[in-house]
Amino acid sequence: MLGGAVAARLVADGWDVRTLQRRPSGVAGVHDELGSVTDAEAVSRAVAGAEAVVHLAAKVDIVGPEAEYRAVNVEGTRTVLDAARAAGVSRMVFVSSPSVAHTGDSLVGAGAGPAEPSRARGPYARTKAAAEQLALATDQPGFRVLAVRPHVVWGPGDTQLVGRIVARARAGRLPILGSGAPLIDTTYVDNAVDALVAALTAPTDSYGQAYVVTNGEPRPVRELIDAICAASGVPVPHRRVPAALARAAGAGLDAAWAHLPLPGEPPLTRFVAEQLSTAHWFDQRRTREALRWEPRVSVDEGIARLAAHTRAAVDA
């Protein structure tokens, strides 16, 4: 969702856009180079002649062997960096995640904070943290790199947050963890796109650093989940599970999926349990000043757009 939306925006803004991904992008006006960031030759073809790179590729599943995450998220990033520098690319925006600095405690009005591979929760967060460190370490005159951490990106067509909430609510497997009161911030997809495009032309003194991007509208997690469910036409959750019990259950399920040949995703992980039962919202003043960016779609407007998308899908 995010990569396609960024490509479409850049085309609309007059950029000559080339994508590298495993399947055709379906974005009008884009040249697709098919391949993986784990393939050095494909990456070199993709960046040849490029002025700037937005690196969004990642393995984002919630379970799986850590070696698979490392191959894509860390070594894939290394391949992109090497190819970009060899091709004379002048700027790179590395798309990261606030999870690289989330160690399980509440984040209340936090800044970006340093990426911590050894303390981040889960293979995705650990490998993204290592990749962010790798990317920012290459920032230098002539090859400027910054990291943007969009927090909980969602919108119509989203298969990560919205898709999982809807599927579990429809199946009756979406409890509220704890009180449902902790405040969390999110990012409507159009705002994330705007921020990434703004990062491409940010002042050079903004580079070499990481910036968390959000709507800047913290909401109680229960309120946000209820709104997404209502807009998507599925029942809002009523069952509650104590947060400590959910975290313990998530840790047990993590272990089961790591050591047994179990299909699909676990119903809960420790990382997800922590995300749904602790506050995580961020001070946006530094981000907005550095990127010269402001969100333009509020959470309420985003929910209205999600509801309209749901109605259109039902009527189709």
Question: Active-site positions?
Answer: 124
Q: Tell me the sheet residues that pair with 277.
A: none
Residue 124 to residues 76, 174, 193, Cα–Cα distance (Å): 14, 23, 22
Please name the residues in contact with 285: beta carbons below 8 A apart, sequence gap of 6 or more. none
Position 4, amino acid: G
Helix (H) or strand (E) holding 61: none
End-to-end Cα separation, the chain, in angstroms: 21
Residue 18 to residues 21, 196, 288, Cα–Cα distance (Å): 10, 16, 28
d(CA 184, CA 98): 12
SS3 state at 16: coil
Residue 299 to residues 8, 190, 192, Cα–Cα distance (Å): 22, 11, 13
Per the CB < 8 A criterion, the answer to whether 162 and 306 are in contact is yes
d(CA 312, CA 115): 41
Rounded to 10 degrees, the C-alpha dihedral 33/156/285/93 comes to: 0
> For 143, which DSSP code?
B
Segments of 151-275 assigned E as strands? 153-154, 176-177, 183-184, 187-188, 210-213, 219-220, 240-241
d(CA 104, CA 265): 21
